[in-house]
Amino acid sequence: MTATRVQTDAAPAPAHTFSQGVRRGNLLQVSGQGPMDPATNTYIAEGDVRAQTLRTLQNVQAILEAGGASVADVLMFRVYLTKREDFAAMNEAYGEFIEQHVPSGATLPCRTTVFVGLPHEVMLVEIDALAATD
């Protein structure tokens, strides 16, 4: 089975040597996304983890859709936060996004949240995803 690169202008272009997403068979891995506006290539909402979480999830969603998947197809989200005190606001924004994009009664995706240092000081959150389609 060969791997296929997934790329879209609806999400920020990778700044380094990696793909936005890679599809192999029915699996689609989305690289870690941050709170960057793809239209301006600038980070948004400095200091606002809620707004950054929503923008980050929108970037993940754009890559999922470019690869033929949806948020409802996600098996696992991995969330990387810089500050433990931002967990509640991130979790609230994440929950609203999932509620909007995963049909009622459907199996919710798994999630792991870890606290880390991120590559750009303005980034409070980074999220990646693994999806499977039928």
Based on the structure, what is the number of domains in the chain?
1
CATH of residue 122's domain is 3.30.1330.40
**Structural domain boundaries, residue 35:** 3-132
**pLDDT number for residue 104:** 86
pTM of the entire predicted model: 0.95
**pLDDT number for residue 33:** 96
Q: What is the pLDDT along the chain (134 residues), one digit of tens a residue?
A: 899 999 999 999 887 788 999 999 999 999 999 999 999 999 999 999 999 999 999 999 999 999 999 999 999 999 999 999 999 999 999 999 999 999 988 899 999 999 999 988 999 999 999 999 98
**pLDDT number for residue 53:** 98
**pLDDT number for residue 15:** 77
Residue 104 CA from chain centroid, whole number: 21
**pLDDT number for residue 129:** 98
